[in-house]
Structure 1
Amino acid sequence: MENKMFCYQCQETAGCAGCTKSGVCGKGPRTAALQDMLVWVTKGLSEVAVRMREENQNVPDEVNSQVVENLFITITNANFDDEAIIRKIKETLEMKRELAKSLSGTEPMSPAALWDDAEHMEEKAKSVGVLSTEDEDIRSLRELITYGLKGMAAYLKHAAALEAKAENRNTADGKRDTAAFLEKALAATLNPALTAEELTALALETGEYGVTAMALLDEANTSSYGHPEITEVSIGVRKNPGILVSGHDLYDLEQLLEQTDGTGIDVYTHSEMLPAHYYPAFKKYSHFVGNYGNAWWKQKEEFEAFGGPILLTTNCLVPPRDSYKERLYTTGAVGYPGCRHIEAGEDGKKDFSQMINQAKQCPSPVELETGSIVGGFAHNQVLALAEPIVEAVKSGAIKKFVVMAGCDGRAPSRNYYTDFAKALPKDAVILTAGCAKYKYNKLNLGDIGGIPRVLDAGQCNDSYSLAVIALKLKEVFGLEDINDLPIIYNIAWYEQKAVIVLLALLSLGVKNIHLGPTLPAFLSPNVAKVLVQQFGIAGIGTVEDDMKLFFK
């Protein structure tokens, strides 16, 4: 039977092989095809940008921004709005057409760089998807690179929003360098002459630039809002009407907090926005009151119970129920048919007045739970605690650190991570970032000499903090190899931001990473074999077997 679509970029892809009828994420075949088309024309635009640089021409910043935005739109659970994707395809073709006029070279270009027929985009989309690359290993490596670049684009987008906000931002040059690499790597996936070995090297280089992108975002976040600090976050509710904010974009949250100040409306975080509470700059808002609910995949029940407007600032959108669809707002790269979308003005700022007015007419949130959770253990905070942590390691009070960063998801097999956290020896400390923490961050795992046994660094991009902490510990203990540290890597993944985190760790020389609940479907047997042989990548087993493996 002919596939209606083909997508295998996320962990929950059907049968751990590929979605061929409709996406597990909720996207249909037409949306999938349009996203394939958007990626393909973005690669073509990137090739033109690369040629411009080769001819010593300046590539306008709006081209870099377009490439970043386009990739972000195609991340899992980000945009389901076909008309919005079509507009982006047309914008990209128009931009490519204008830029190509400046090229003087006569070297042949790829079909993606030359194609310009917006009227027939949906017919063309049938021939430019993942399976258009016939060689399984080349296809696997191209997709590994592309998915890593999608994750990198998300981080660059957030950094760019804060750079635009502040005139004196020292991330600008680094962002341009990273965008130039992103375009070079995208163009390289069109090159039929590149071998598997060359593409493997490019995947590792993608990881190196992934570290840079996460460092840029860390700099943008901390210079704007201060360094995260240890914070106790309420998970209950108050009696006021509320607005719920999900996703990763801190600048969107800041603008909403400013516009709701003094209105009698409380603001709550959901899923990956939880770490916003750790930043000092947001603590001045008395109406920024807590976190509501859990990881992204529980949003249908939790958004319905919340009762007020919900703002989706980045991916992790589940197709909404009609019962709350009129309360769901999207912004940035996110989109869903029938949901109101809030665009930024020419000054980069957003007007949330429609949400605010709606919130005033809504009831207070339904309470789901009570109590609090503690986080804020990003690199600056952990390094401030370096002395007691090092002493705890030297004394044997802490025997192992277990990096359990990454993503949560709806598969029952992910309960492994809850059971694994519960089974850990009492002298093990969890280092986490990303929504994977919701599998264990509400457990009472205690502390070791006042050091909590779950140290939450923040969002998925804050996996950078975990790398900084590991490198600092390597220096403190005078070790030659980062793999000599008493650190275990047992990481859950779901979508493409987890892919760039994985490539970043590999580029730093980290080995023996265990990845679950399944290995990526886009890794061909030969590519998986290379990762196993060179880096010790492995899957997960049962909790009992993995305890024996990790704690010999």
Structure 2
Amino acid sequence: MENMFCFQCQETFNNTGCIKQGVCGKSPEVSNLQDGLVRASQYASDDPTHAMQIQVTENLFMTITNANFSKQDIEKAISKTYTGKPVATLVQEGSFQYSENEDLRSLRALVLFGLKGMSAYLHHAYVLGFEDQAIFDFLTNTLYEILEQKTMEEYLALIDQVGEFGVKAMALLDHANTKTYGHPHVTEVELGVGDRPGILVSGHDLHDLEELLDQSEGKGIDIYTHSEMLPAHYYPKFQAYEHFKGNYGGAWWKQREEFDSFNGPILMTTNCIVPVKAAYKNRIYTTGVVGYDGVQHIDSVEGKKDFSAMIDQALTCAKPVEIETGSIIGGFAHNQVFALKDQIVAAVRAGKIKKFVVMAGCDGRQKTRSYYTEFAEELPKDTVILTAGCAKYRYIKLGLGDIDGIPRVLDAGQCNDAYSLALIALKLQEVFELANINDLPIVYNIAWYEQKAVIVLLALLHLGIKNIHLGPTLPGYMTETVIDYLVETFDLAPMTNVSDDLEIFGLEA
């Protein structure tokens, strides 16, 4: 079997690296081609045109965990990007396993994976018509710059810059989303199913969802969200569609059972696809950066996507099997939380809210992630969880109640909406007139899985936020030297167990 080396996600084998098959399911051939695509993008980033900057951004997004499993797609992207060297040479040069110094490899990986996460924000903003040339320039310049070996000090400075531009990329996407779809507000989202056939939309791309809703209106089908698409229900523009039904299922890793029972077509709009079961392979579609061999792909033609095949197929399918009932309340992005500022501040000053706990990030398959459910259940009743990302599915359905009408789980949206949590913290710092953001009654217990979580972490570190607990493991590509630096500089720490971490955070009952 062909060898590979990949250590970019939280589930990487033995927390050191996948060398025979990706835990995510990607083959060695696909993994190596992704390395080659990264290297091709680096070479193309030497004095790129604007069109090539867009291509490079899409390339990096394609290589995020669980985005593209298609050999054909990646080979096509390489040919569109750089042909100055054979693919085999690009593959060899692109793999981190050939780096001699582990600490420098670790830091270069942190930069690269941060850039991959940043590419997702830039891509989503760009398809909505919003861009910032300075961020594109930084991404491509930095991607090219790390072709050359650097000192540890140079890498550390660069990592802070990645965090700085990560904040800017998040702000850009937040602006794009809210200008296009309005500000999210408090919304109750149904979890049951209706009597009509449906289409299930997963991933993060709101523009794809909008196009599908437009084309399916009045056709006798309902549109449901899955996993990270849930927060679309919080936006005013999407609420105007009568056939936008509700949310079906939970986090990305449960899709193999939930897609089976949904019965209708499924649209994967971004990363989060996993190896496809035969039971639903004939009714799952990919689009954008997503690819999976043997699955139907919907391309954009002159800026438009044609979802008619999905819609026609949906009309021949049975309605979804109901797997749960009830509802989820969300929509607590920064604008909505600011509107509730007086109510929240009053609860804090009255001692009814003692602490906020940021539990944003990613969910995953490992059994150890039950920690986050147990942690939420054991929190004192005077704490409020701030969340964004699919990590919410570990606790948002627990019925944790409210404090004077303020839900104890405030969902800001997708992992793409983590910027809201930073803005909320900054606003609270202003309201309570604190000189240091770390003096706020906020603690950070964050779950990570893939590279968008990396850029969120680097952004928080750039903003000066300390004492972040990260789990369920620290990244496998971080050496002891790098971990020691992050611990010493930012008080970054791994999760341990529920009781000890509650005590460390000062949250014991």
TM-score (norm 2): 0.98
> Which residue, 329, 338, 348 being the options, matches 1:374?
329
Match status 1:24 vs 2:23: yes
Give the Cα–Cα distance (whole angstroms) in 2 for the partners of residues 251 and 382 of structure 1.
25
User: Do 1:79 and 1:335's aligned partners in 2 also have CA atoms closer than 8 Å?
Assistant: yes
User: Which residue pairs with 1:262 in the alignment?
Assistant: 218
How far has the Cα of 1:29 moved from its partner? 0.4
User: Which residue pairs with 1:337 in the alignment?
Assistant: 293
Q: Residues 213 and 124 (structure 1 numbering): CA distance in 2 closer, same or farther, change over 3 Å?
A: closer
- Give the residue type in structure 2 aligned to 1:89: I
User: Do 1:47 and 1:186's aligned partners in 2 also have CA atoms closer than 8 Å?
Assistant: no
- Give the residue type in structure 2 aligned to 1:259: Q
How far has the Cα of 1:196 moved from its partner? 0.7
- Give the residue type in structure 2 aligned to 1:525: E
Give the Cα–Cα distance (whole angstroms) in 2 for the partners of residues 122 and 31 of structure 1.
13
Give the Cα–Cα distance (whole angstroms) in 2 for the partners of residues 198 and 73 of structure 1.
28
User: Which residue pairs with 2:208 in the alignment?
Assistant: 252
Find the residue that maps to 1:514 and give its secondary structure.
Answer: strand
User: Which residue pairs with 1:66 in the alignment?
Assistant: 55
> Which residue, 253, 260, 280 being the options, matches 1:297?
253
User: Which residue pairs with 1:308 in the alignment?
Assistant: 264
Deviations 1:40-88 (A, max 9, x none): 1101111233xxxxxxxxx3x2111101000000000000000110010
Give the Cα–Cα distance (whole angstroms) in 1 for the partners of residues 259 and 51 of structure 2.
35
User: Which residue pairs with 1:364 in the alignment?
Assistant: 319
How far has the Cα of 1:293 moved from its partner? 0.2
How far has the Cα of 1:130 moved from its partner? 1.1
How far has the Cα of 1:187 moved from its partner? 1.2
Find the residue that maps to 2:453 and give its secondary structure.
Answer: helix
- Give the residue type in structure 2 aligned to 1:202: L
Give the Cα–Cα distance (whole angstroms) in 2 for the partners of residues 160 and 246 of structure 1.
20
- Give the residue type in structure 2 aligned to 1:450: G
User: Do 1:405 and 1:434's aligned partners in 2 also have CA atoms closer than 8 Å?
Assistant: yes
Matches within 5 A, 1:204-223: 204-223=160-179
Give the Cα–Cα distance (whole angstroms) in 1 for the partners of residues 404 and 478 of structure 2.
42
Give the Cα–Cα distance (whole angstroms) in 2 for the partners of residues 130 and 301 of structure 1.
35
User: Which residue pairs with 2:148 in the alignment?
Assistant: 191
Q: Residues 124 and 184 (structure 1 numbering): CA distance in 2 closer, same or farther, change over 3 Å?
A: closer
User: Which residue pairs with 1:468 in the alignment?
Assistant: 423
Match status 1:514 vs 2:469: yes
User: Do 1:69 and 1:333's aligned partners in 2 also have CA atoms closer than 8 Å?
Assistant: yes
- Give the residue type in structure 1 aligned to 2:290: V
Deviations 1:345-393 (A, max 9, x none): 11x1110000001001000000000010100000000000000101111
User: Do 1:331 and 1:343's aligned partners in 2 also have CA atoms closer than 8 Å?
Assistant: yes
User: Which residue pairs with 2:359 in the alignment?
Assistant: 404
- Give the residue type in structure 1 aligned to 2:284: L
Give the Cα–Cα distance (whole angstroms) in 1 for the partners of residues 396 and 133 of structure 2.
37
User: Do 2:333 and 2:411's aligned partners in 1 also have CA atoms closer than 8 Å?
Assistant: yes
- Give the residue type in structure 2 aligned to 1:496: Q
User: Which residue pairs with 1:276 in the alignment?
Assistant: 232
- Give the residue type in structure 2 aligned to 1:256: L
User: Which residue pairs with 2:125 in the alignment?
Assistant: 159
Find the residue that maps to 2:148 and give its secondary structure.
Answer: coil
Give the Cα–Cα distance (whole angstroms) in 1 for the partners of residues 409 and 78 of structure 2.
44
Find the residue that maps to 1:211 and give its secondary structure.
Answer: helix
User: Which residue pairs with 2:116 in the alignment?
Assistant: 150
Q: Residues 483 and 303 (structure 1 numbering): CA distance in 2 closer, same or farther, change over 3 Å?
A: same
Match status 1:76 vs 2:104: no
> Which residue, 214, 224, 235 being the options, matches 2:180?
224
> Which residue, 436, 439, 453 being the options, matches 1:484?
439
- Give the residue type in structure 2 aligned to 1:498: A
> Which residue, 389, 395, 401 being the options, matches 1:446?
401
Q: Which runs of 5+ in 1 are unaligned?
A: 50-58, 95-115, 164-170
User: Which residue pairs with 1:39 in the alignment?
Assistant: 38
Give the Cα–Cα distance (whole angstroms) in 1 for the partners of residues 414 and 174 of structure 2.
11
User: Do 2:400 and 2:408's aligned partners in 1 also have CA atoms closer than 8 Å?
Assistant: yes
- Give the residue type in structure 2 aligned to 1:521: G
Give the Cα–Cα distance (whole angstroms) in 1 for the partners of residues 88 and 23 of structure 2.
22
User: Which residue pairs with 1:176 in the alignment?
Assistant: 133
User: Do 2:227 and 2:251's aligned partners in 1 also have CA atoms closer than 8 Å?
Assistant: yes
- Give the residue type in structure 1 aligned to 2:25: G
How far has the Cα of 1:124 moved from its partner? 4.6
- Give the residue type in structure 1 aligned to 2:173: L
Give the Cα–Cα distance (whole angstroms) in 1 for the partners of residues 353 and 89 of structure 2.
59
Find the residue that maps to 2:172 and give its secondary structure.
Answer: helix
Give the Cα–Cα distance (whole angstroms) in 2 for the partners of residues 71 and 128 of structure 1.
13
How far has the Cα of 1:289 moved from its partner? 0.6
Find the residue that maps to 1:473 and give its secondary structure.
Answer: helix
Figure out how many residues of one structure are paired with residues of the other and give that number: 507
User: Which residue pairs with 1:137 in the alignment?
Assistant: 103
- Give the residue type in structure 2 aligned to 1:435: C
Task: Write out the 4+ residue segments of structure 1 that deviate beyond 2 Å after TM superposition.
Answer: none
User: Do 2:35 and 2:90's aligned partners in 1 also have CA atoms closer than 8 Å?
Assistant: no
How far has the Cα of 1:128 moved from its partner? 2.9
User: Do 1:244 and 1:308's aligned partners in 2 also have CA atoms closer than 8 Å?
Assistant: yes
